[in-house]
Structure 1
Amino acid sequence: MPKNRQILLDNRPDGEATTSNFKLVASETPALQDGQVLVRHHYLSLDPYMRGRMSDSKSYSAPQPLGEVMIGGTVGEVVESRHPKFAVGDKVAGMGGWQEYSAVDASQPGLLRKVDTTHVPLSFYLGAVGMPGVTAWYGLNEIIAPKSGETVVVSAATGAVGSSYAALAKARGCRVVGIAGGPEKCKYAVEELHFDECIDYRTHPDVKTLSKALKQACPDGIDGYFENVGGYILDAVLLRTNAFARIAVCGMIAGYDGQPLPLQNPSLILINRLKIEGFIVSEHMNVWPQALQELGTLVAQGKLKPRETVAQGLDAAPEAFLGLLKGKNFGKQLVKLI
C-alpha cells in the first residue's frame, strides 16, 4: 500500500494561528474493508471555516480534535475500490482532509460523490461547483431572495463564494457590488466576474469612508448583503441598507482570531426592519443538487470564471492557509497534491 503523508492539528492557536499549530506525519494507507474505496487526492481545499475548527470555543460544530488529520474538502481519483458503485479511475469529491490518500466508506450517504470533468475542471468542485458555490447559492436564494433590479453586495468578493455569488445574482437581474482588497482584485471583479462595481476596502479603512464609497456604488441603497467578513465592513453596509433589506451571514473572518466584533449601530436593525440570518450550508443538503446543477451550467456557459490560487504539495498547506486568512489568495485557495 502507498505511503500516506498527513497534516495533523498538533495544538490549538493562542490568538493568531501559526504553522507551529500543525504537524506533518506519514503513515501506511490501510487495507480496504468491504464497501470502502481508496482515493488519491489531487487537490485539497483551504477555507476560512477551518480557523474556527482549530479553536475549542463554542461554535456551530465540534472543534477539530488534536492529533487528527485536519478537516478539509478534497477531489481526486479512485485508485482501489471494494464498493460496486465506484470503479478505479472515477473522479470523486469528498472530505478527505489534509492528506494525500483517504480510505472512505462509500456506502455512507454523502461521504463521496462522483463528479463529471467533461465541462467542469476537477478543481472547480472544491470551489464554484462545490461547497463555496452552494454557500453563495443558499445565502442568495434562501435568505436574500432578490428581485430583479435590486442591489446586492458581497464582501470577500473575489473569493470562491463571492465569485459564485456574482454570477448567480447577475443571472437574477441584480445590480451586484463587491468589496475586496486591492486594485487588482477589484479590476478582476468588474472585468471578469461581471460585478457592476467593486470597492477596495484597503483605500477605505474605516466606517465613514467605506460607507461613503458604498453610497456612490449603491445610489439606490442596499437590498441584500452577503457577509463573509464582519467588523467595520458590516457597520458600513448597515448604514446604507434599505428598509426590509436582507443579510445572509456566512462568515466573520475579521474575528477568527478570537477578538469580539461589536456592532456600532445595532439600532439600524430595527430602524430598517432588517432580516439578518446566519446559516451553515452543510445543514441544507436538500438544495445541493439544484445549486450544483445551476453552478455547473454557469461554468460550462462561461458565465462563471472563477480564479484559483494553487499551492504546490502537502507541505505548503499550513502557509497557504495562513495566507488565506490574511487575504493573500486570489480566488479559491487550493493545494495541489500530485
Structure 2
Amino acid sequence: MDTILFGASPAFPIKKSLSLLSLPLSTNQFAFSSNTTGDKYLRNSPHKVEESRGTSRDDVATFGEAAYEAERLRLDAEARRSMAEASGREAADETDPRAWKWAIRKRVWDMMEAQNVARFPRPVHHRIPNFVGASAAANKLSELEVFRVSKCVKVNPDSPQKQVRFLTLDGGKKLLTPQPRLRTGFFSILQSHVLTPSTLNEACTSVGVAKYGRPIGLDEKIKVDLIVIGSVAVDPNTGARLGKGEGFAELEYGMLRYMGAIDDSTPVVTSVHDVQLVDDIPVEKLLIHDVPVDVICTPTQVIFTNTQIPKPQGIYWDKLSPEKLGQIRVLQELKRKIEEETGQKLPSGPSEKLPPTAQRWR
C-alpha cells in the first residue's frame, strides 16, 4: 500500500463526527487494508450481514480447555513463522513501502530482549510484546478520565493488555475484545454481571472470552467509548504507532468504524514499556490505514500525544487482495452488501501469497 493521506485529526475531547454509516457510500470511504488470515465470521446472507457464531463456551466444553489452548498456541506459532518469513522478504525489498517498519520493529524487539524487560511469552519477536511493568502501565491507563467515564472499552487480546481487560471488567464496564487473529470469530462482548470473582480473571484470557463472551456481528448496535490498542513501537511526539505487522488492529478499527461504533473523537490509548518509545517513525510514510494513538501509558508516565495524524475512515477495498478477501467471510458479505446498496462494484487490491489459513473448531 503506497497511498498516503495527509490531514489533521483533532485530539479528544471533540464533538462526535458523523459515523461511516451516515456518509455517502463511495469506494474510497469504504476502503480498508489488513494483513489478515481471518476465518469464518458471518453466515451467508444475500441481503444483510448477520451475526457470527464464533468460538463459544460450547466449543470449549466440547474440545476441553487444554485442547483449545494447545490449538491456539499451535496456530500462533504457525502465524509467527509466516510473519517472520514475510518480514524478511519485505525488509529486503527496498521498493516495499513497509520495509522501514520492520527495521524499527526488530530494533525494539531486540532491545527488549537484550535489556531483559521482555516477559512471557518469549521471545517477543513478531508479537505485541509483553513487558516488565505491564500491570503498572495498565493501572495508569485505568486512572485516565476517558477510561473512568467509559461504559464500553475495546481492548486487544494480547498478553501485555490482560490487566487492562481485568480492570475494564472489574470496573463494571463492557469489554469488547476480538478473537485472537480473528480466526474463529469477530468480536465478543463480556459483561461483569455474568462473572463471579473466581471467573473474572479467567474471562480476560482467550479461553475465558470463548467461555463467557457473547459473539457479535456487524449488525450489532454498540457504542465503544475507548479503544485500547497494543503496540510494538510508538512515537510520543506524533502518536504514530507500529503494530506487529499483521494489520489486525487496523482491520478491527475499520470494522468498528463501519458499524458506527466509533468515530474520529473516540480516543485510542496504548500501553507499552518506556523502551518502546521511539522518535524515528516517519509520519509522511505512514499508510492510510495506520491507526495513531492519542494517549500512551508506560509503567512510569502518561503521555498525551495531541496527534495530528488522520484516523482511518473505514475499509480500503482497493488494498485488499482477492486471496485475503477469500479468507474473510465477514468482508465478503460486507462487500456484497455495499455493492448491492450502491450499485457500484468495489475495487480489489493486487494478488498476494498468504500464509496457511487458520483452522477453526468443527
With normalisation by structure 2, the TM-score equals 0.26
Task: Report which of the two has the higher share of strand.
Answer: 1
Larger Rg: 1
Q: Which one scores higher on RCO, CA 8 angstroms, separation ≥ 6? A: 2
With normalisation by structure 1, the TM-score equals 0.28
